Structure 1
Amino acid sequence: MKKWTSLIAFSLLAMLLFVGHALGVQFLSTVPGSTDDPLVTKSYVDELLKSYTPQQNTGNITALEQEMTRKMTEYEQKIQTLINNASGQIGGNELIVVQLFPGDILIGVAGTEIIVRSGKTMIVAEENGIPDVTAGKDLGKGTVVPHNHQLLVPRADGRGIVADQASTLPVYVMVRGGYELRKVQ
C-alpha cells in the first residue's frame, strides 16, 4: 500500500511541477518586441514611429512658428527701445570724461548729469533750461555754464551744452547717463 501511495504522490507532484512550469513559461516569457515585452526594443520603437506622420502636427507647428516669430519681433522692438534710451550710456553709474571741440554739442537724455570741468560752454535748449543743481537755479538757453557745477537734464527733448565756437581749446566734461554728440550746423 505504501508503494501505491508513494507512486500517486510522486505522480501528482510531477504533474503539478509540469503544469506549473508550463504556466510559468507561458506567462513569464513574452515575444521579444511585442507590447507585452518589458524591455523596449528597436523594432517596437520603429513600429510606434510608423504610426506617426508629420502631417498630423503641421497645423500645430505652423501656429507655434507664427507665435514664435511674433514674440521675437516684439522682443526685438523692446530691446531696440532700451538701446535707444541708453544711447551713449557707459558704465551705468560711472562718470565718464568727454572731450568736446569747438562747436560740438552734447545732448543728454532724461536723467543725464553733466559737469563742465574746463573750457567755455553754453546751454542748448528749446524752451526751458537745464537745472544747475549746485547753484539751485535754472540755466536758460545761451547761458554760460559755470565750471564744476552739476547740471541735470530733466527730459530727452534736445537739452544739452555746446562748446564755444570762438574758443581754440577743447572742453572737458564729465557725464553720467545717456548722451549724444552732434556738430553745430
Structure 2
Amino acid sequence: MKKFIKPTAITVILCGAIISGYILNTPADGAGTTPGTTDDPVVTKSYVDQQIQKALNGGGGTTTPTKPTTPTNPTTPAQPSQGSDEVKNVALKPGKILIADAGAEFIVRSGNAVIYTEDSNGVADLTDGKDLLNGQAAPKNHLLSFPREGRGIQVKEGQKNGLIVMVRGGYTIK
C-alpha cells in the first residue's frame, strides 16, 4: 500500500500544478488583443501628428505650424537657414561650408568631411562619444551634434567630390 502512496501523491501534485498554471495564465480583459488588428491598430507617427494638429486647430485642416527661418549670419549672402525637425539630404560642394544652427545634427553619408569651427571647442560625435575639433575628420555614418551655432563641416581639402549630409535642424551654406 505504501508503494502506491508516493507515486499517487506526485501525480496529484503535478496535475494540480498544471491545472493551476492554465487557470492563472488566462489573459485579463483587453490584454489579449493582437497589435495590428482592428481592436489594436498600428498607426504611423505622421498619422498621430496629423490627428493632433487637427485637434489643436479645431478639427480643420492638416497644416502644421512652421517656424520662421532666418540666416545664422545675416551679413553673409548665404542660403537661408532651414529650421525643421525633418531630416534633409544636403549636397555640399568643395569650397563651401555647412554651418549648423544650435542643436542641429548631421550625418555624413558620402564624401570626406572635416570639422569647421572658429573657436577652440568642437563638435560632439555622439556615435563614438568624442569631441571633434577643427580640421579633424568627420566620420561617415556618425551622428554629429552641434550645441552652438557657428560650427559645421566642409569638404576635406584636395577632394574633388562634394558631400552628401543628412541634416536635422537649421543650417546655412556659406
Q: Give TM class, smaller chain.
A: 0.5 to 0.7
Q: Which residue of 2 aligns with 1:150?
A: 143
Q: 1:30-49 maps to which residues of 2 (within 5 A)?
A: none
Q: 1:46-57 maps to which residues of 2 (within 5 A)?
A: none
Contact in 2 for aligned 1:103/1:164 (Cα 8 Å): no
Q: Which runs of 4+ in 1 moved over 4 A?
A: none
Query: What amino acid is the match of 2:69?
Result: I
Contact in 1 for aligned 2:109/2:164 (Cα 8 Å): yes
Q: Report percent identity of matched pairs.
A: 44
**Cα deviation, residue 165, structure 1:** 3.4
Larger gyration radius, structure 1 or structure 2? 1
Q: Which residue of 2 aligns with 1:140?
A: 133
The yes-or-no answer on 1:176 pairing with 2:163 is: no
Q: Which residue of 2 aligns with 1:37?
A: none
What is the CA RMSD across the aligned residues, in angstroms? 2.0
The yes-or-no answer on 1:83 pairing with 2:41 is: no
Relative to the length of structure 1, the TM-score reads 0.50
Q: Which residue of 2 aligns with 1:121?
A: 113
User: In structure 2, the residue corresponding to 1:83 is in which secondary structure?
Assistant: coil
Relative to the length of structure 2, the TM-score reads 0.53
Contact in 2 for aligned 1:85/1:109 (Cα 8 Å): no
Query: What amino acid is the match of 1:162?
Result: Q
**Cα deviation, residue 116, structure 1:** 0.3
User: In structure 1, the residue corresponding to 2:70 is in which secondary structure?
Assistant: helix
The yes-or-no answer on 1:104 pairing with 2:104 is: no
**Cα deviation, residue 164, structure 1:** 1.9
Contact in 2 for aligned 1:89/1:176 (Cα 8 Å): no
Q: 1-side partners of 2:148 and 2:68: how far apart?
A: 16
* Structure with the larger helix share: 1
Give the unaligned 5+ runs of structure 1.
1-80
